[in-house]
Structure 1
Amino acid sequence: MDEATPHRVTASALHGKNLRYYDFVMAAFVAILLLSNVLGAGKVAQIWLPGVGYWPFGAGILFFPVSYVIGDVLTEVYGYARARRVIWAGFAATIFMAVMAWVVVALPPAPDWTNQASYEAVFGQVPRIVVASMCAFWAGEFVNSYVLARMKVATGGKHLWMRTIGSTVAGQGVDSLIFYPMAFWGAEGWTTQLVLTVLVTQWVLKVSWEALLTPVTYVVVGWLKRAEGVDVYDDGTDFTPFGASV
Structure 2
Amino acid sequence: MNRPQTYPVHQNAVRAFQHLDTITALFVAVLLISNVASTKILVAGPFTFDGGTLLFPISYIFGDILTEVYGYRRSRKVIWLGFISAILMSFTFILVGALPPAPEWQYQSAYDQILGFTPRIVTASLIAYFAGEFSNSFILAKLKVLTHGKYLWIRTMSSTLVGQLIDTAIFSAIAFANVVPTQLLVMLILSNYIFKCGVELVFMPVTYALTRWLKQQEQEDYFDVDTNFNPF
TM-score norm. by structure 2 comes to 0.91
The whole-number CA distance in structure 2 between the counterparts of 1:167 and 1:225 is 20
Q: Contact 1:10 / 1:234 at 8 angstroms: preserved in 2? A: no
The 5 A counterparts of 1:4-153 are: 7-10=6-9, 12-13=11-12, 15-38=13-36, 40-47=37-44, 49=45, 55-125=47-117, 127-153=119-145
Q: Which has the higher strand share?
A: 1
Tell me the secondary structure at the aligned position of residue 117 of structure 2.
coil
The whole-number CA distance in structure 2 between the counterparts of 1:184 and 1:123 is 15
| 2:183 paired with 1:184 | no
Q: Contact 2:31 / 2:56 at 8 angstroms: preserved in 1? A: yes
Seq. identity, %: 43
Tell me the secondary structure at the aligned position of residue 11 of structure 2.
helix
The whole-number CA distance in structure 2 between the counterparts of 1:219 and 1:188 is 41
Residue in 2 aligned with 1:224?
214
The whole-number CA distance in structure 1 between the counterparts of 2:179 and 2:23 is 40
Q: CA RMSD in A?
A: 1.8
1:43-88 alpha-carbon deviations (Å, 9 max, x no partner): 23333x4xx5xx4432211101100100111001100000000000
The whole-number CA distance in structure 2 between the counterparts of 1:180 and 1:44 is 11
Q: Contact 2:35 / 2:118 at 8 angstroms: preserved in 1? A: no
Distance change (3 Å), C-alpha of 1:150 and 1:106: same
- Aligned-pair distance for 1:103? 0.6
Which of the numbers 170, 190, 199 marks the counterpart of 1:200? 190
Tell me the secondary structure at the aligned position of residue 18 of structure 1.
coil
One-letter amino acid matched to 1:222: R
Distance change (3 Å), C-alpha of 1:224 and 1:189: closer
Q: Contact 1:10 / 1:235 at 8 angstroms: preserved in 2? A: no
- Aligned-pair distance for 1:115? 1.8
- Aligned-pair distance for 1:235? 0.8
Q: Contact 2:39 / 2:117 at 8 angstroms: preserved in 1? A: no
Q: Number of residue pairs matched?
A: 228
- Aligned-pair distance for 1:114? 1.2
- Aligned-pair distance for 1:11? 5.4
